[in-house]
């Protein structure tokens, strides 16, 4: 799907010059009668795309019908540019999405379509409550308005040009949908981003995955509940849903638990149990569950709920690649069955980071040598790993979860490195004078007793360790240039002592 502009142009050129047999008839340039949209850039893009679409084998008649009367919608570009500026804590998302009203409506929909849910579950092997949960999150059981026409939304974004090849690909898929008779050209209601119907499929997914459940020749994911639910189920089945297996289980962990194990590694449930995890249900696991692989997931760090995630969780995540999304769907599904929500309360007091703060954290971690990738303000797996490594280096519980308190600590350390780099006048530790300089600094800040003799012995190593701990570093006892710089900086800001003044005189 993601094809570069260059590749798209090359492909179109190859087709136009008749490189592939069977497209000879399409070498001619078609003349379309497009109404000017009043936007010259859009008109120019449309004229060029029309030729590329015909070269790619799409029907000129469908193309004329779909693109002929189009005008771009500037509000769509604005929405595309203003996405996800604001980041809320995970519990905020969950509390807004998993509400008593939403659950009650889901239970009612499950009952009103009981036979349909049963039949779809039987045919695709996918848990009916999970299907209902996705239906809820995507379009509130099909009740969210879809105010846009997919051709207009996708053409606007293609003409805008930032991801042109991707959106032109979606438009080609829309034309194919109409050519195959799955849907009429005026019936493709979408979100501003071009996601279609009640399951919110992009057009390529619609082509590969949507289902005509009632057999009327249409894949009507806009108005037909059977087509909608079967399409969602088919998507999950195609991505490896395991019939009859659970999605998650909440566990209690022992006090001394090593949170660094929550790093995405899948281990048999029996191993988690051996490490002290026990189900909050109060029951032990059956043998078949003991043998299943699970990841440990701490959505809000060590102080919040702990979940064992089974492989089906990852299948839900394939619908929308977000842990938060999959958790919301899973919690809704559990609630439809009359099950409980999470037992352990969210640690709301630890706060959460805004996107800007997340950017700061990523930059500071990178500077300290804990690589979080290119800073993007998003809390992804690279950032989680970098936070965990930082926590391990300073002896904190390594849950990989960033908080405002952690940000302060990391930024303090990172600023220290900046100041140290600016001080390039420190003597070398390869000389006795350099070691003496370090010892004097350690004496001055109260970490070392005795005199500066220029040799690194046990007392000096212990003093370095104490100093390292005091600035959140791993205690190594090694006399390094960085430690010398940091110790001198600390000594310069420490209150002056008489002994040092005497020596200076
Ligand atoms: Ca149908």
> CA-based diameter of the chain, in Å?
99
More confident residue, 352 or 424: 352
| Ligand 1 center–CA 459 separation, angstroms | 81
| Ligand 1 center–CA 211 separation, angstroms | 7
pLDDT surpassing 60 at residue 497: no
Mean pLDDT is lowest, of 207-211, 466-470, 486-490, 492-496, for 492-496
Residue 386's nearest CA partner among 407, 370, 409 is: 370
| Ligand 1 center–CA 450 separation, angstroms | 87
Percent share of the chain, pLDDT over 70: 89
For residue 149, the surrounding DSSP H or E stretch is strand 148-149
More confident residue, 223 or 84: 223
Tell me which residue has tokens 């800001």: 493
| Ligand 1 center–CA 133 separation, angstroms | 22
Q: What is the mean pLDDT of residues 60-72?
A: 94
Q: Which pLDDT score, from 0 to 100, does residue 86 have?
A: 59
| Ligand 1 center–CA 223 separation, angstroms | 9
Q: What is the mean pLDDT of residues 324-339?
A: 96
Q: Which pLDDT score, from 0 to 100, does residue 496 have?
A: 53
Quick one: pLDDT band at residue 84, thresholds 50, 70, 90?
low
| Ligand 1 center–CA 227 separation, angstroms | 5
More confident residue, 479 or 49: 49
| Ligand 1 center–CA 151 separation, angstroms | 21
| Ligand 1 center–CA 297 separation, angstroms | 39
294's CB contacts (< 8 A; 6+ apart) are: 249, 266, 267, 268, 269, 272, 308, 309, 310
Q: Are 367 and 417 in contact (CB under 8 A)?
A: yes
| Ligand 1 center–CA 183 separation, angstroms | 10
The rounded mean pLDDT for the chain is 89
Quick one: pLDDT band at residue 421, thresholds 50, 70, 90?
low
At 160 the three-state DSSP class reads helix
| Ligand 1 center–CA 226 separation, angstroms | 7
Model-level pTM greater than 0.85?
Answer: no
pLDDT digits (tens, 9 = 90+) for 339-348: 989 999 999 9
| Ligand 1 center–CA 65 separation, angstroms | 23
Q: What is the mean pLDDT of residues 251-263?
A: 94
pLDDT surpassing 90 at residue 122: yes
Catalogue all structural domains in the chain, each as residue range(s) with its CATH number.
9-71+147-196 (no CATH), 353-420 (1.10.101), 427-493 (1.10.101.10)
Q: What is the mean pLDDT of residues 475-496?
A: 82
Q: What is the mean pLDDT of residues 395-414?
A: 92
| Ligand 1 center–CA 194 separation, angstroms | 21
Q: Which pLDDT score, from 0 to 100, does residue 88 have?
A: 81
| Ligand 1 center–CA 187 separation, angstroms | 14
pLDDT surpassing 50 at residue 69: yes
pLDDT surpassing 80 at residue 5: no
| Ligand 1 center–CA 215 separation, angstroms | 5
């Amino acid at each position: 799907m993601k094809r570069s502009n260059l590749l798209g142009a090359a492909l179109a050129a190859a087709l136009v010059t008749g490189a592939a047999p069977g497209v000879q008839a399409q070498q001619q340039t078609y003349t379309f009668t497009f109404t000017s949209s009043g936007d010259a850039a859009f008109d120019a893009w449309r004229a060029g795309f029309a030729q590329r679409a015909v070269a790619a084998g799409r029907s000129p008649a469908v193309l004329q019908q779909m693109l002929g009367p189009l005008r771009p919608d500037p509000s769509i570009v604005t929405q595309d540019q203003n996405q996800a500026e604001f980041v809320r804590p995970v519990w905020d998302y969950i509390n807004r999405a998993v509400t008593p009203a939403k659950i009650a409506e889901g239970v009612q929909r499950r009952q009103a379509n009981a036979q349909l849910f049963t039949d779809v579950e039987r045919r695709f092997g996918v848990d009916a409550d999970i299907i209902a949960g996705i239906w809820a999150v995507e379009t509130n059981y099909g009740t969210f308005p879809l105010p846009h026409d997919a051709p207009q939304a996708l053409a606007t974004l293609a003409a805008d040009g930032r991801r042109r090849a991707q959106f032109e690909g979606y438009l080609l898929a829309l034309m194919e949908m109409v050519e195959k008779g799955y849907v009429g050209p005026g019936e493709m209601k979408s979100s501003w981003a071009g996601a279609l119907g009640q399951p919110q499929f992009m057009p390529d997914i619609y082509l590969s995955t949507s289902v005509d459940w009632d057999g009327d020749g249409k894949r009507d994911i806009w108005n037909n509940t059977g087509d909608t639910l079967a399409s969602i189920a088919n998507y999950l089945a195609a991505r490896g849903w395991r019939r009859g297996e659970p999605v998650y289980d909440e566990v209690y962990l022992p006090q001394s638990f090593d949170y660094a194990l929550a790093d995405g590694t899948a281990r048999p449930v029996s191993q988690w149990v051996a490490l002290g995890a026990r189900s909050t249900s109060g029951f032990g696991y059956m043998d078949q569950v003991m043998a299943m692989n699970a990841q440990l997931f701490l959505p809000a760090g060590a102080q919040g709920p702990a979940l064992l995630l089974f492989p089906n969780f990852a299948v839900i995540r394939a619908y929308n690649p977000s842990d938060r999304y999959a958790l919301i769907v899973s919690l809704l599904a559990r609630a439809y069955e009359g099950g409980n929500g999470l037992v352990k309360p969210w640690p709301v007091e630890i706060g959460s980071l805004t996107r800007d703060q997340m950017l700061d954290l990523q930059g500071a971690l990178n500077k300290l040598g804990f690589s979080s990738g290119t800073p993007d303000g998003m809390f992804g797996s690279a950032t989680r790993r970098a936070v965990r490594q930082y926590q391990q280096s300073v002896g904190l519980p390594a849950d990989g979860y960033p908080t405002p308190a952690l940000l302060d600590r990391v930024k303090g350390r990172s600023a220290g490195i900046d100041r140290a780099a600016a001080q390039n006048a420190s003597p070398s530790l390869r000389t006795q004078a350099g070691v003496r300089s370090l010892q004097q600094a350690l004496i001055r800040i109260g970490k070392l007793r005795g005199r500066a003799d220029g040799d690194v012995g046990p007392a000096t190593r212990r003093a370095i360790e104490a100093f390292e701990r005091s600035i959140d570093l791993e205690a190594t006892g090694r006399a390094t240039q960085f430690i010398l710089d940091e110790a001198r900086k600390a000594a310069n800001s420490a209150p002056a002592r008489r002994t040092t003044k005497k020596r200076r005189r």
